[in-house]
Amino acid sequence: MANSMASARFLIESRKHDAALGDAQARFDLGVAFSCGTGGVEVDLIEAHMWFNLAAQAGSEEGQHCRAEIAEEMTAREIAEAQRQARAWIVQTSRRAA
């Protein structure tokens, strides 16, 4: 169990690094991880929507499709929170890059 948590943490951190560099596939991969619980990652639809949204903004058509699909399972409040987190992530990453 501890091993799968460590591998999940590694997966997430390595993909977040690539996502911060603008990698649309990394953002999409994070969305998949949080929507499906890939590699021991806990399912979190708000986090998944946020990453699919960021992937879509980076040009991923798959991200657009998955964002729409997952939104059907979420409340309006959850979607609003995911959008807020996506905006905050963009601001945070752009500050780091500056």
Q: Are the C-beta atoms of residues 12 and 41 closer than 8 Å to each other? A: yes
Structural domains of the chain, count? 1
Give residue 78's pLDDT band: very low, low, confident or very high (50, 70, 90): very high
Q: Would you give the distance in Å from CA 93 to the centre of its chain?
A: 14
User: Once rounded to an integer, what is the mean pLDDT over residues 89-95?
Assistant: 90
Give residue 98's pLDDT band: very low, low, confident or very high (50, 70, 90): low
Supply the range of the domain harboring residue 12.
2-97
pLDDT score for 17: 92
For residue 20, pLDDT over 80 is answered with: yes
